[in-house]
Amino acid sequence: MRETGSCSQLNVIFVGEEGVDAGGLTRDFFSLLFKTTGVFDNENFSVRADLLKKKTYHILGRITAKAIIFGHPGPRCLNAHIANYIINSKEPDIASVQIRDLPGDAAAAVQQIQDSTQDTISDVFNGVLSVLEPTGFSKKLSMENKMAAVDAIKAHYLLYRIMGPLTQFQEGLHSQGLLETLRTFPDEAVSILAVSDLPSAEDLMKFYVPQYSSDHVKKDLEERVVYNLDRFLKKIEKNKVSSVWINPMNDVDNATLEVPASINTGHVLQSLIGCQRLPRNLERGYLEFDHDSKNLSTINTCLPSITFPNIEEIQSYENFHTEMLRLIIESYGFGCA
């Protein structure tokens, strides 16, 4: 990665791949860093001594700041409690913390304690002792104090356990002068860091604006292509499109396992623009039509745009479906295979 100017432009070059960066490669670069550095884990920060020693969490804070400045939608991989603490320095209301917000061992321990009875609570205590000890809860578990034990587990494993990584990350944001700016727009800032739903089919259709021909005959054909795209995205939204070649965003190599994985709108956007959500600095993309070519469809991740040639062939939804799968899976440098 090369940075030109003070903070005006990034020029990302992937070794072994061709491509001129006009925004798409930069978005893909940030997306890969958020996914592969090991900083984020299960909607929270990982806790790794090696990453703390190398100040990797600090580096990812700086990278997150850069990504936001350059229009990337942000990591969006932390639970809302943690994102809110980073931006607002507000500790979570323990009563609002759900079991799903906790890492696996802590979540299982909370469930066992909540389900315990007078007859089983001693055995439960022995089973969850290794989880309870780091929280500072030093009493023997009883029916009278079991909810206090639950609160202690929630507080420790949601927030206190990750204070080292979290503090480094905050310092990384601060070093780029962005933490204070984010705090002036807290709702938007939290949404950039916190897990959120993937864009809907309607969101994508609104983003991509068709560049229709003035010729009415051609326009009729183009409108059919747009209709097929809308139908395709709605099927994806309903988890009705899958492929054995999709490597989903959880690092499970389904291509190797030959297990069909559902394609979602995150896969679509990753292939088309280099990140799983719509960038904040792009208002729209374009659907373009080439009536004179019989070539395959192409994408421009930087503009961004999709160019559909061979218009008559993709009037058929089945042919259009196949063509879109090819774009999503095989898109050079961006595909999800």
Give pLDDT tens digits for 242-273. Answer: 887 665 444 444 444 466 788 999 999 988 99
pLDDT band at 240 (very low <50, low <70, confident <90, very high): very high
Architecture (CATH level 2) of domain 201-330? 2-Layer Sandwich (3.30)
The predicted model gives 227-235 an average pLDDT of 98
The 3-state secondary structure of the chain reads: CEEECCCCEEECCCCCCCCCCCCHHHHHHHHHHHHHCCCEECCEECCCHHHHHCCHHHHHHHHHHHHHHCCCCCCCCECHHHHHHHHHCCCCCHHHCCHHHCCHHHHHHHHHHHHCCCCCHHHHHHHHHHHHHHHCCCCCCCCCCHHHHHHHHHHHHHCHHHHHHHHHHHHHHHHCCCHHHHHCCHHHHHHHHECCCCCCHHHHHHHEEECCCCCHHHHHHHHHHHHHHHHHHHHHHCCCCEECCCCCCCCCCHHHHCCCEECCHHHHHHHHHCCCCCCCCCCCEEEEEECCCCCCCEEECCCCEEEEECCCHHHCHHHHHHHHHHHHHHCCCCCCC
Using a pLDDT cut of 70, give the percent of the chain over it. 87
pLDDT band at 204 (very low <50, low <70, confident <90, very high): very high
CATH code of the domain made up of 2-88+162-193: 3.90.1750.10
For residue 260, the model assigns a pLDDT of 74
For residue 255, the model assigns a pLDDT of 43
pLDDT at 207 over 60: yes
Give domain limits for the chain. 2-88+162-193, 94-158, 201-330
For residue 17, the model assigns a pLDDT of 56
How does pLDDT run across 166-202, given as a tens digit for each residue?
999 999 999 999 999 999 999 999 999 999 999 999 9
pLDDT at 279 over 80: yes
Distance of CA 140 to CAs 1, 122, 134, Å? 55, 9, 14
For residue 6, the model assigns a pLDDT of 40
How does pLDDT run across 281-318, given as a tens digit for each residue?
889 999 999 999 999 999 988 889 999 999 999 999 99
How does pLDDT run across 12-41, given as a tens digit for each residue?
555 555 554 446 778 888 898 998 999 999
How does pLDDT run across 62-120, given as a tens digit for each residue?
999 999 998 899 999 999 999 999 999 999 999 999 999 999 999 999 999 999 999 99
Return the higher-pLDDT residue of 13 and 208.
Answer: 208
The predicted model gives 208-218 an average pLDDT of 97
For residue 249, the model assigns a pLDDT of 44
Mean pLDDT (the chain, rounded): 88
The predicted model gives 144-163 an average pLDDT of 96
For residue 4, the model assigns a pLDDT of 42
For residue 243, the model assigns a pLDDT of 81
pTM comes to 0.82
Return the higher-pLDDT residue of 10 and 286.
Answer: 286
pLDDT at 60 over 70: yes
The predicted model gives 33-60 an average pLDDT of 94
pLDDT at 51 over 50: yes
pLDDT at 331 over 70: no
